[in-house]
């Protein structure tokens, strides 16, 4: 009986994260992700672009290798002998089929090129222009499509022309998807008083807390005045509060305003 009471007492004093290990792992993963985003935001543009491209390529390679397990292997497609007199268009079509039906290694390479180049170009445009719009998205898609055409062997006899054609096709598709998603995911009227706040939260990966700022009327004008207690009043957890305050402290625009008010 005493042992049973002891077990109940231990369970009552057990930390909350140990009671729900899945939620604890999710919180740890979120903290690591936020820490990585914060570290990445402090790096130079070449370093950030290289890291983002490598991460995107690794993800694309995994997706390509997985999808290749459900596709027919290119080795089952007969290849004509070198002396065969096929017209260039037929040979280009054959190369396209082989490029799209290769094994796991081939598809891993193809998807790694597409996702890595796309992520890298998107990162550069977002860092330079300070926003992610349809023009940046189409430019990234054009680059990934052109490089994919050259690497995969789909270019045919005139690789330069086919690279441009593939890039334009990718850009048009990506532009259409971007506009379609924007139409159905974005609110009809965007509040201009939270433009800087929204951009800051996007960079930190804290988009979910925009509603907290609006609920507390913490507009762009109040960003230089933010304190830990003000963020706590709008129910933002400790981790995100530290990231937000650190970002404001490092930002040259906000730092000057905070200094003039102290």
For residue 2, tell me if it sits in a domain.
no
Could you say which of 153, 185, 217 is where a domain stops? 185
HEC profile of the chain: CHHHHHHHHHHHHCCHHHHCHHHHHHHHHHHHHHHHHHHHHCCCHHHHHHHHHHHHHHHHHHHHHHHHCCCCCHHHCCCCCCCCCCCHHHHHHHHHHHHHCCCHHHHHHHHHHHHHHHHHHHHHHHHHHCCCCHHHHHHHHHHHHHHHHHHHCCCCCCHHHHHHHHHHHHHHHHHHHHHHHHHHHCCCCCCHHHHHHHHHHHHHCCHHHHHHHHHCCCCHHHHHHCCHHHHHHCCCCHHHHHHHHHHHHHCHHHHHHHHHHC
CATH number for the domain that contains residue 250: 1.10.150
Question: Tens digit of pLDDT per residue, the chain (262 long)?
Answer: 444 444 444 444 444 444 567 877 778 887 788 778 778 777 888 898 899 999 999 998 898 888 777 765 554 555 555 554 555 555 555 555 555 566 778 888 888 988 999 999 988 888 787 777 888 889 999 999 888 888 876 655 677 888 888 889 888 988 888 877 777 765 545 567 888 898 899 889 898 999 999 888 898 888 889 999 999 999 999 999 999 999 888 876 665 555 554 4
Let me know whether 198 and 163 are in one domain.
no
Let me know whether 92 and 126 are in one domain.
yes
Let me know whether 52 and 173 are in one domain.
yes
Let me know whether 176 and 67 are in one domain.
yes
For residue 107, tell me if it sits in a domain.
yes
Let me know whether 68 and 161 are in one domain.
yes
Let me know whether 58 and 30 are in one domain.
yes
Could you say which of 165, 185, 205 is where a domain stops? 185
Let me know whether 43 and 59 are in one domain.
yes
Q: Domain containing 62: what range?
A: 20-74+87-185
What's the confidence (pLDDT) of residue 10? 45
Query: pTM for the whole thing?
Result: 0.53
Q: How many distinct structural domains can be found in the chain? A: 2
Let me know whether 130 and 47 are in one domain.
yes
Let me know whether 102 and 220 are in one domain.
no
For residue 197, tell me if it sits in a domain.
yes
Let me know whether 47 and 138 are in one domain.
yes
For residue 7, tell me if it sits in a domain.
no
Let me know whether 197 and 110 are in one domain.
no
For residue 201, tell me if it sits in a domain.
yes
For residue 3, tell me if it sits in a domain.
no
Let me know whether 197 and 181 are in one domain.
no
For residue 113, tell me if it sits in a domain.
yes
For residue 245, tell me if it sits in a domain.
yes
Could you say which of 160, 185, 210 is where a domain stops? 185
């Amino acid at each position: 009986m005493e042992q049973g009471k002891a077990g109940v007492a231990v369970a009552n004093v057990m930390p909350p994260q140990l009671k729900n290990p899945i939620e604890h792992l999710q919180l740890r993963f979120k903290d690591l992700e936020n820490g990585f985003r914060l570290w990445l935001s402090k790096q130079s543009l070449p370093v950030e672009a290289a890291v983002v491209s490598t991460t995107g390529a690794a993800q694309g390679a995994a997706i390509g290798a997985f999808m290749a397990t459900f596709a027919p292997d290119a080795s089952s497609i007969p290849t004509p002998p070198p002396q065969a007199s096929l017209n260039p268009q037929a040979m280009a079509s054959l190369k396209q089929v082989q490029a799209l039906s290769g094994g796991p290694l081939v598809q891993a390479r193809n998807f790694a090129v597409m996702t890595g180049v796309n992520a890298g170009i998107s990162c550069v445009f977002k860092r330079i222009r300070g926003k992610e719009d349809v023009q940046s998205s189409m430019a990234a898609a054009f680059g990934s499509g052109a490089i994919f055409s050259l690497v995969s062997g789909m270019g045919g006899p005139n690789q330069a022309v086919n690279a441009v054609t593939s890039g334009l096709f990718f850009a048009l598709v990506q532009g259409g998807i971007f506009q379609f998603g924007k139409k159905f995911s974005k609110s009809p009227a965007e509040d201009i008083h939270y433009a800087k706040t929204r951009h800051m939260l996007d960079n930190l990966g804290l988009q979910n807390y925009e509603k907290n700022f609006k609920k507390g009327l913490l507009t762009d004008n109040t960003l230089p005045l933010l304190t830990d207690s003000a963020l706590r009043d709008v129910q933002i957890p400790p981790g995100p509060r530290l990231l937000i305050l650190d970002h404001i402290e490092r930002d040259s625009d906000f730092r000057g305003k905070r200094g003039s008010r102290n």
